[in-house]
Amino acid sequence: MTSFGYTLMTEQRGPRDLVADAVGAERAGFDFAVMSDHYFPWLDEMGHAPYAWSVLGAVATATEHIPLMTYVTCPILRYHPAVVAQKAATVALLSEGRFTLGLGSGENLNEHVVGRGWPSADVRQDMLDEAVTIIRRLLGGGYVTHEGPHYRVDSAKLWDLPDDGVPLAVAVSGAQSVDRYAPVADAMVAVEPDPGLVERWDAAAGAELPKIGQLPTSWGPDADAATDRAHSLFRWFGGGWKVNAELPGPAGFDAATQFVRREDVAAAIPCGPDVSAHVDAVRPFVDAGFTHVALVEIGGEMQPDYLDFARTTLLPALREEYGQPKDSAITVRRSS
């Protein structure tokens, strides 16, 4: 059974609207909600990038039961891992245990702002590995001192910690990252519906842990308008994460995608009012073994109407096709 979530996309909504959308997603019946953590939007047309952690605090208190997650936070440059651990623990307490910390190695788009340069992919993975170790130790309680190749921590301690800990989900894209993080993470994040990735993750983890994917959609009563909106705001999506992680700003994404056609976007993203197209679009993730799929509705102004559509039509159709999940919560893996 697959859980279906809603994406609070900070790149296309202001902070107050994001809080309202989170409340709307809970009322609509989404099983969980994820939030992006950006300093820049992908394209200027998207128009927003509020501080995700302030918004998460507001969302945690404005909602009652929907599980929350970052999708994903980069703890390697813009944030020090010790600070990420403190933020995660605080949001987990505010949400009364509903928060999962999603982590990844990030994009130049957001990390360049601190002026430390953009490391190679191998170095970024090493930095993420060290950051995960620090975060896990701090969330485990007690004082932490650490001196490694990338980070130093001097007698740090989190004074406000949830009793049940904070689950860590880590973004992966291939065998190397799967083998590195499956043994230590509580859940997998991936944007490609690759069954081989799922199988390798479960084998390396030694357990069937949650796997969280994400799918952009462009719903709307007019298919042409929905396609135009997807092309205008999401044409960057087809570049793939190896490219998307390297470009330094919205101008770079605009230039890199200037030859992407409307039909290219429409072939990759379900556009328009056809419910069956939106239901069928998630099937690759379901068939690959993903337990959670977060949907991204393209276009900030579309969110209120989309949430109504989800409540009355989309979520019932998804559950009729794929079943009702028993529990969407992600928990800290316990040692046997």
Q: Is 65 a catalytic residue?
A: no
Tokens (6 digits) for 224: 């042409």
Pairwise CA distance, residues 177 & 174, whole Å = 6
Q: Is 150 a catalytic residue?
A: no
For residues 24-38, b (16+ Cβ closer than 10 Å) or e, as one string?
A: bbbebbbbbbbbbbb
Catalytic residue among 65, 80, 96, 107: 107
Tokens (6 digits) for 88: 């995660």
Residue pointed to by tokens 């199988």: 199
Catalytic residue among 38, 112, 231, 278: 38
In angstroms and rounded to an integer, the radius of gyration of the C-alpha atoms of the chain is 19
For residues 274-291, b (16+ Cβ closer than 10 Å) or e, as one string?
A: ebeebbebbebbbebbbb
Specify whether the CB–CB gap between 182 and 199 falls below 8 A.
no
Tell me the catalytic residues: 38, 107
